[in-house]
Amino acid sequence: MTDIFLEGGRALIGAEFVETSLSVSGTDIAQVDASRGRARLAIDARNLLVLPGIVDLHGDAFERQMMPRAGVDFPIDVALADSDRQAISNGITTVFHATTCSWEPGLRSADNARGLMEAIERQRPQFAADTRFHLRHETYNLDAEAEMSQWLAEGRVDLFAFNDHMDGTVADMAKPRKRNRMVERTGLSSEDFDKLVGHIVSRAADVPASVSRLAAVARAAEVRMLSHDDATPAMRADYRAMGADIAEFPINEETARAAASHGDAIVYGAPNVVRGGSHTGWTRASDMIAKGLCSVLASDYYYPAQLLAAFRLAADGVLPLAKSWDLVSAGPAHATDLTDRGVLAAGRRADILLVDDTVPLRPRLVAVISGGKLVHLTDATRLLPAAAVPREAVVAA
């Protein structure tokens, strides 16, 4: 692997920006405040920000590469390869593909979740981003419990989330636009969709025991767990008691405060920050951040959002950039127990971004180093001439 030298740049070291140079050797950062030495590859980082790579613990934008239009499918391997390019080009060096395993057929079915998991495992060596599997279990999908338990026990799941969208599904059935979208996604006729929902709802009494069993399997396998859209402090407490200490998109401040009081990681969507509010009309993420009730921002459904959100928070005076960047890098790394990344320090994984912040609110990604490899470069003039190799080294070769 080629050693890399980053000359100059305003690097985020600890809690402040420092003018310094970095060296990368193998997959790790070798030294901060370094000299070039014999590094063959050197990049001029002067007048750029040098930031730790983004960690995205919940992103499902890859679904649009799989099904860009209702009923139009593309092969999973093609979709994942394109999603990897999108993630890297937006500074995401660690990506958890949030894969829904639902009672629905089609895009969010158990069959599709299985296919995605297997494809990620096959293609992982080819990806530029460190790519992981975040399994989002729709709790009414009782028929998939045994198979998901096996995946967890075998160590094939990197994050495991409990989702319950059943009330919303039933409510949306009375809304023609949302109903049509759900029906199209499943590929069923309208009549068959109604029958399926009726059958799934009839099994509600069996859901709590299933959730408890799956949580026990995840705990035994030491898989981090999340609960999604917690509506009350009591709901958060129930999931925490089962070992799910990541609160994903709590829908009100009361629940977020209850999560924070127990030290839970709290996740909100970066698109919420960029757009100035939730598309569902729920909690405004920037308000929660200002109150100290958010520790992680995820891409959710839009890969560019994390990079943009960090700069938006700084521009709006909600947090200084050094703190807002923690929400997309150190925060999610900590929440997912990835202790080797999220900060720029010697011995840590070399996930590094070079960012031009000249235009307010529109950071431009110049280069991405992922796991010690230069995987994205938009400005070749930043490459410095090759280092001179001592004559004796050439003769010895």
Q: What is the pLDDT of residues 64-86, one digit of tens each?
A: 998 888 778 899 999 999 999 99
* Res 333 pLDDT > 80: yes
Domains of the chain: 4-52+345-396 (2.30.40.10), 54-335 (3.20.20.140)
* Residue 16 in tokens: 């402040």
* Res 391 pLDDT > 60: no
Distance CA 53, CA 314 (A): 18
* Res 188 pLDDT > 80: yes
CA distances, 112 to each of 115, 174, 298 (Å): 5, 27, 23
How is 245-275 classified by DSSP, letter by letter? -EEES-SSHHHHHHHHHTT-EEEEEHHHHHH
Q: How confident is the model at residue 8 (pLDDT cuts 50, 70, 90)?
A: very high
pTM of the predicted protein model: 0.92
Q: Which of 353, 350, 374 is nearest to 364 (CA)?
A: 353
Q: What is the mean pLDDT of residues 304-328?
A: 98
* Res 389 pLDDT > 70: no
CA distances, 356 to each of 16, 65, 326 (Å): 17, 28, 18
Q: What is the mean pLDDT of residues 247-269?
A: 97
Per-residue model confidence (pLDDT) at position 388: 54
